[in-house]
Structure 1
Amino acid sequence: MRISISDIAPLREVPTNVRKSVKYGQIAASIAEVGIIEPPVVARDSVDTGRYHLLDGHLRIDILRERGDAEVICLVATEDEAFTYNRRVSRIAIIQEHKMILNAVKKGVPEERLARALNVDIASIRKKRNLLVGICPEAADLLRDKHVPLNAFVDLRRLKPMRQIVAAEMMIAMNRYSTSYVRSIVAGTPDDQLVEGRRKVVRGLTDEQISLMGRESEALDREFKLIEQSYGADHLDLVLATGYVQRLLGNVRVVRHLAKHHADLLSEFQKIAELQRAA
């Protein structure tokens, strides 16, 4: 429904510091360039049916008020539950954003307009457009839904394709996607696995330290592969063992016997059961 903004009552005020945030600026730029994409969600007031309570879209409504807009198209909820409607939204990963920008450019959207809509400079748009240049398809596929910093891909380009795949696997296994972590992988990479002409530049490290990092990186790669091979079986054994311990502790006679003769074992079993419940 198209509703007068003056008839919409927000559930909370937008703080001043939020109005100065990057997110607020991006939403304002997007609205200015392409309008409202996702309509705010409102619920009718139970007493005055001409009034509405704002359930979702506080930043959008605040921006429209600041712009001087009089009306906005809204979704009207049938129940006035004040929960966040976008709570299950998965934030877009950088590779997905790269593909989105490529599709937009392919369809004729000027880079300048994309930059205005996303509230970034045009150089950032071009970097994202060229994000996967020099990145092998297998590594890109591994990182397709991960939140990897833009500069991390700059360092990944210094690696040969097979090493890029190993680096991506290490990032996923460690759940670490920071630029500093990628640089540490690059620093520990042997010269024969680096792209020709892209020498390592690591400030504050000697050649001996870089060589040591390389050996440690190789050892870590081997350990990851060994763990990966046995992880499934180890996890199954752990689940079965934990379930057995919990069944033991559910038997009063067993607990009484352990308390009398093996108090130390009973204490450890109880810790295992508590950890499982907490998980």
Structure 2
Amino acid sequence: MADWLPQHVIEASDDPDVHLAFERQTVSVPISVIVPLKSLREGIRESKKYAQIVNSIKAIGLVEAPVIIADTQHSGRYFLLDGHLRIEALKELGTETVDCLVATDDETYTYNKRVNRLPPLQEHRMIARAVERGVAPTVIAEALGLDVASIHRKFRLLDGICPEAAEILKDTICPMNAFDILRRMSPTRQIEAADLMVGQNNFSLMFAKALLAATPDDQLAKQPKKDKKADANGPTAQQIARMERELAALQTQVKSVEDSYGIDNLHLTVARGYIVKLLSNALIVRWLSQHHQEYLSEFQRIAEMESIAPASATLPIQD
């Protein structure tokens, strides 16, 4: 392919059992010959995520190379497996060519499903490392499409959090507001609360507040006088007792549906697995894209599902 110019070489693994899913060299391909396998949903160009990707590319360039595969029926044309928003952002910025990874497997499941999203605590460490290396918060904010205040808040995320609790929550989706609640507890209570949040797989602000309300006074962190005054209207002993009763009742309800939930979840997992297998076939994806685009969009949403729990806000990933 004369229009492919090798750019970077990717080292192969020493393990003979590991099979590379892409060519070792990235290539430069004209954006005009790349055909997306799915259409962008309506309004995506006005979304915050899309704006963050555009700002990120403007500030630091493209971080993740899009993934393509050659169209065997049309020489010189390539299908886009991953990176639809990135390609759209590059078009908006007037870019004509892009460095791409060339896939060897004709499937899209890996890129939609097997992608690690950055937990809030890892965001903090990434920003802290950048600041330690002399990068100004304003530069980081511009690159990530965030305001400077958000960068400062993420930088101070672990202030007042004991290392043991931070270690427990390092790979979770615990939001920043929940860390604000944990900060009001003693280190021992922080560890207990973090264990409870992980055990219940519940990192919501309301659950964190419930844990704080159930925390004895001797396990609360010492607060400045102005904060104590602000807590004067906090929950009373009667309210705490009522919350404990409601929590016990809720736990009973959860226990009662565990059996049926497991069976239902198994059925849904099998159905989702079948859809994922269908979408791993590029021929089926292309046919759906041409004849039943509405079904393809819904199938892709199902295939990309990680959990029924609501997703937390994270730093932009160049999709």
TM-score range normalised by the length of the shorter chain: 0.7 to 0.9
1:45-64 map, 5 Å: 45-64=71-90
Query: Are positions 1:209 and 2:239 aligned together?
Result: yes
Structure 1 residue 172, shift from structure 2 partner: 1.2
- 3-state SS of paired residue (1:43): strand
Letter of the structure 2 residue corresponding to residue 128 of structure 1: K
1:169-194: per-residue Cα shift (whole Å, max 9, x none)?
Answer: 11111111011110111111121111
1:47-126 map, 5 Å: 47-126=73-152
CA contact under 8 A between 1:135 and 1:157: conserved in structure 2? Answer: yes
CA contact under 8 A between 1:9 and 1:54: conserved in structure 2? Answer: yes
Letter of the structure 1 residue corresponding to residue 82 of structure 2: D
1:127-138 map, 5 Å: 127-138=153-164
Q: CA RMSD in A?
A: 2.9
Corresponding residue pairs, total: 227
1:66-114: per-residue Cα shift (whole Å, max 9, x none)?
Answer: 1111111111223433445252122111111111111111111111111
- 3-state SS of paired residue (1:103): helix
- 3-state SS of paired residue (2:113): coil
> Given the alignment, which residue of 185, 195, 216 partners 2:211?
185
Bigger RCO of structures 1 and 2 (CA < 8 A, at least 6 apart): 2
> Given the alignment, which residue of 141, 145, 168 partners 1:142?
168
* Range with bigger deviation, 198-207 or 15-24: 198-207
CA distance in 2, matches of 1:204, 1:134: 21
CA contact under 8 A between 1:152 and 1:182: conserved in structure 2? Answer: yes
Q: Percent identity?
A: 46
Partner in structure 2 of residue 158 of structure 1: 184
- 3-state SS of paired residue (1:75): strand
CA distance in 1, matches of 2:232, 2:65: 49
Letter of the structure 2 residue corresponding to residue 104 of structure 1: A
Question: Which of the two has higher C-alpha Rg?
Answer: 1
Q: Which runs of 5+ in 1 are unaligned?
A: 224-270
- 3-state SS of paired residue (1:109): coil
CA distance in 1, matches of 2:234, 2:167: 33
Higher helix share: 1
Structure 1 residue 47, shift from structure 2 partner: 2.9
> Given the alignment, which residue of 167, 172, 190 partners 2:193?
167
Structure 1 residue 136, shift from structure 2 partner: 0.6
CA contact under 8 A between 2:35 and 2:79: conserved in structure 1? Answer: yes
CA contact under 8 A between 1:188 and 1:216: conserved in structure 2? Answer: no
Structure 1 residue 140, shift from structure 2 partner: 0.7
Q: Which runs of 5+ in 2 are unaligned?
A: 1-26, 252-259, 270-319
Seen in structure 2, the aligned counterparts of structure 1 residues 104 and 204 have a Cα distance that, compared at 3 Å, is closer
CA distance in 1, matches of 2:190, 2:98: 48
CA contact under 8 A between 1:189 and 1:214: conserved in structure 2? Answer: no
Query: Are positions 1:24 and 2:41 aligned together?
Result: no
Seen in structure 2, the aligned counterparts of structure 1 residues 162 and 13 have a Cα distance that, compared at 3 Å, is same
1:238-277 map, 5 Å: none
Partner in structure 1 of residue 202 of structure 2: 176
Letter of the structure 1 residue corresponding to residue 60 of structure 2: V
- 3-state SS of paired residue (1:80): coil
CA contact under 8 A between 1:188 and 1:215: conserved in structure 2? Answer: no
Structure 1 residue 46, shift from structure 2 partner: 1.3
Seen in structure 2, the aligned counterparts of structure 1 residues 52 and 133 have a Cα distance that, compared at 3 Å, is same
